[in-house]
Structure 1
Amino acid sequence: MNTSFHIPLQYLREYILGRLSLHFGKAASVTINADAYVHDSSPFARWMEEAQPDAGEFIALLLALAPHLQPGFFEDVLREYIPEGGDFIPFGGIKSLHHRGMLPTGETLLFVLAGNDPDKRVDLQNNLLQQSRFFRQGTLSIEAVSPGEPVMSGQLVLAPETLDYWLTGHVIHPRFSPEFAAEYITTDLLWSDLVLQENTLQQIREIEQWVMHHRTLLDEWQMIRKVKRGYCALFHGPPGTGKTMAATLLGKYTRRDVFRIDLSKVVSKYIGETEKNLSRIFDRAERKNWILFFDEADALFGKRTEIRDAHDKYANQEVGYLLQRIEAYDGLIILASNFKGNMDEAFLRRMQSVIYFPVPAAPERHILWNRAFPDKVTLSPSISLEQISQHHELTGSNINNIAFHCCLKLISDQRQELTAPDLQNAIHRELMKEGK
């Protein structure tokens, strides 16, 4: 094992044994040394050097880390005092569906740091869990439990991005799954590649300015007394007009990760599951200051009708839950819809920006056509991109699709010159696909 992990895990083992020795009356005290990690160049050591956790925080971090490196870590430690095995209730811990070893809980943390002393446990719960930046920022968390169960019986969890960094030196973006219905999106394009009408582009760049300067605006200039801490915008317009591209460019130029959530996929037929799906996304996003891009927003924010049955009632609850999380989000949220008219008017009034992405006009289409083909392609003299721009009302996505099929045909035919019939056939094919 990497020395950076061996030394602190050995220290954690010794400290837990010290707590057990105190519990069973074989010692008078137990001490913590928060500097029990190696000062080397490993990601773990660098992270600790920068974060500077205090003594209790360091133990909490190690408790959450241990089962990821040694699946039977806690069983091995407990065996020295409970050789026959079995549950040791004061120590807490749970078993999961797939992991065969013990996983630490909040009760584990309380016992290791405070033993069974109720006053110390209350102080620890109030101070460490409420005041520690590692819990406030989500580096550490206690999983929620069923109503009526002790709060601290939830699993003590280390944020996946922190674990990724400690192990690999890189933060791995969460993958799309039924449990995390958000997809990381990025782009290699530049602002200059976004071809929009000037008014639309100016409104997008105003959002960029907000992301870059909102901390100064809200905190230093005290505008927090008058405006919300977060920002919510609606991008609306036909498909293929640049809504997703604009969102990814905002992320790229403000150095924020962008995650796309397709609300048509998040909304669950099972009562209560939509809120759980959204909660997982927001909990992660709030820790990492992501830009959240909700696609197909009218799937959840469409015009509401009167409540006719239980399904309508719970659908309204889902909208209410998402509105609550959006209102509380300290960052940028973008909702996208093909039709503004589908959106609930009461919700639209909550938007700081409502930006229309129209089908490109002829001048914008001419720019898009000129950029569509790679340098290897030569256009026949009979092709007039200006005339094509005037005659065919196409989006940037349409034009890219046409260029793609043209290039594929040229490669297949082993030639580089694009003829007018080639281009017209590809345009006809795209228009047919669009039902035009």
Structure 2
Amino acid sequence: MPANWKRIEDSPVSKPPQEPVSKPEAVEMGRLEMFVPEQPSHNLDALILPPAVRNRLEVALNWIRYHDVLYHKWNLKKIDPQGRRVAINMFGPPGTGKTFCADAIAYYLKQPIIKVNYAEIESKYVGETPKNIKAAFEKARQTGAVIFFDEADSILGKRLTNVTQSADHGVNVSRSVMLLELDKFDGVVIFATNLPGNYDGAFVRRILAHIEFELPDIACREQLWKALLPEEVPCANDVTVTWLAQESEGLAGGDILNVVKIAASQAVAREDNQCKVMQSDIQEAISQVRSGKEKVGSTVGIGTKGTVVVKEEVVTPNQLPPAVLEDYEKAVSNINHQAEILSTNNGCS
């Protein structure tokens, strides 16, 4: 470089300004972020189920395990051209392992799981719930996740025939969107409910397997006690697995877990050699759990078929902000058009 010359440093290159994300796009991105895929942590081998329930589950999983044989070698694609979607419905009393089982199925498939409950997709704004349903399925597609709907009776409930207000119409739109998304989805969908009688028949026909989760028999209860009562918990000599299984007849796995926690809480405060779980602790804990199941939540706010009536705030279209109202009207028009097409093809009845 010649003398007295000075290098002029390159000025930093300014990056072109990024285009701002439009408000509708931002809203949709935020909607997708509501649903977070989780890595499952339970193995199918850890499931403690009566033999009949285990068999029903294995038969449902065979559709996934042997799909190529069933569809290509045995030519089931002739009667079911799509055949990629697998929908499983698990129903039965609370605490019988339905959520645990959904997680174990995802673990078996080596896929993440998106857990959706009614509170996450229901919106007080008419027209928003269908969008949330669509977002849940779209996130499952993007991430290759199993999608699990808990409290599914709230989502798959019967469509209303006597529509008297916009909220009623909104319920039917949500049901129609759920039907459409279920038909388009190529992955695994799992539903769980304590109230299967509330399902709309159109959903029942689209679900491959309906698996009833029964209360554990005495052999299952022995396994549950072995799994749920840690060896480190000091117990009296007469607190045996056989005795525990006999005392806990009619209880589900979730109930037994609560019994262990209550009994241990009673025993831990005692001193010296009395600081251990005794038969009286177990019996008192079982009594509490049974009393709760019989009395709490079963006498107030009961609707038809034992469903709990929850008062919800309803917003009519004329109360919506203009932008939301416009989206709602477009969504209703589109869904009604699609529902008419499905109905014409006997696909939504």
Separation of aligned partners in 2, 1:379 and 1:261 = 39
Q: Which amino acid aligns with 1:372?
A: L
* Aligned partners of 1:261 and 1:292 also within 8 Å: yes
Shift, 1:183, TM fit: 5.0
Over the matched positions of the two proteins, sequence identity in percent amounts to 25
| CA shift digits 1:182-219 (9 cap, x unpaired) | 35455544333311121211222233333344366546
Higher relative contact order (CA 8 A, sep 6+): 2
Worse-superposed segment, 409-418 or 204-213? 409-418
Hey, what's the Cα distance between the residues in 2 that align with 1:301 and 1:334? Answer: 12
Alignment match, 1:209: 62
- Paired residues, number: 277
TM-score if structure 2 supplies the norm length? Answer: 0.70
Q: Cα gap change, 1:301/1:223 in structure 2, threshold over 3 Å: closer, same or farther? A: same
The secondary structure found in structure 2 opposite 1:364 is: helix
Equivalent residue of 2:126, what SS? coil
**Structure 1 runs not aligned, ≥5 long:** 1-12, 15-71, 76-92, 98-144, 147-153, 161-176
For residues 25-82 of structure 1, give each alpha carbon's deviation from its aligned partner in whole angstroms, at most 9, with x where no partner exists. Answer: xxxxxxxxxxxxxxxxxxxxxxxxxxxxxxxxxxxxxxxxxxxxxxx8323xxxxxxx
Q: Distance in 2 between matches of 1:282 and 1:412?
A: 49
Structure 2 gaps, min length 5: 1-11, 296-349
SS at match of 1:378: coil
Contact map agreement 1:383 1:419 (CA 8 A) in 2: yes
* Other-structure match for 1:95: 20
Does structure 1 residue 329 correspond to structure 2 residue 188?
Answer: no
Q: Give the C-alpha shift of residue 381 in structure 1.
A: 2.4
1:349 to 198, 205, 217: 205
Give the structure 1 partner of residue 51 of structure 2: 198
Query: How far did 1:346 drift?
Result: 2.8
8 Å Cα contact 1:187/1:249 also seen in 2 = yes
- Spell out the pairing of 1:19-418 with structure 2 (5 A cutoff): 73-75=15-17, 94-96=19-21, 180-214=33-67, 217-218=70-71, 223-227=76-80, 228-306=83-161, 307-392=163-248, 393-413=250-270, 417-418=276-277
Deviations 1:361-398, CA, capped at 9 Å, x for gaps:
22222221232211112331233443443343100001
Q: CA-to-partner distance for each residue in 1:340-359, whole Å, 9 max, x for gaps?
A: 11212232122110110011
SS of the residue 1:318 aligns to: helix
Shift in Å, 1:422: 1.7
Q: Which amino acid aligns with 2:172?
A: N
CA deviations 1:388-428 (Å, max 9, x no partner) are 43343100001011112333444444776311122122222
The answer (yes or no) to whether the contact 1:211–1:332 under 8 Å persists in 2 is no
Given that residues 32 and 136 in structure 2 are in contact (C-alpha distance below 8 angstroms), is that contact kept between their aligned partners in structure 1?
no
CA contact (8 A) 1:187 1:245 kept: no
Q: Which residue of 1 aligns with 2:291?
A: 432
- Contact between 1:410 and 1:417, CA under 8 Å: does it hold in 2? yes
Aligned counterparts of 2:93 and 2:36: Cα–Cα separation in 1: 22
What amino acid is aligned across from residue 254 of structure 2 in structure 1? S
Q: Is 1:182–1:262's contact at 8 Å kept on the other side of the alignment?
A: no
Write the distance in 1 (CA, Å) between the matches of 2:291 and 2:37: 32
Which secondary structure state, in structure 1, belongs to the residue aligned with residue 206 of structure 2? coil
**Alignment RMSD (CA, Å):** 3.1
Which residue in the other structure is 1:149 paired with? none
> How many Å separate the matches in 2 of 1:213 and 1:399?
36
Distance 1:189 1:414, change over 3 A: farther
| 8 Å contact from structure 1 (residues 378, 418) kept in 2 | yes
Give SS of 1:316's match: helix
**Would the alpha carbon gap of residues 374 and 387 (structure 1) be closer, same or farther in structure 2, given more than 3 Å must change?**
closer
Alpha-carbon separation, structure 2, partners of 1:413 and 1:391? 23
Deviations 1:120-146 (A, max 9, x none): xxxxxxxxxxxxxxxxxxxxxxxxx97
Distance 1:96 1:185 in 2: 27
Q: Is this contact kept in 1: 2:149–2:191, CA < 8 A?
A: yes
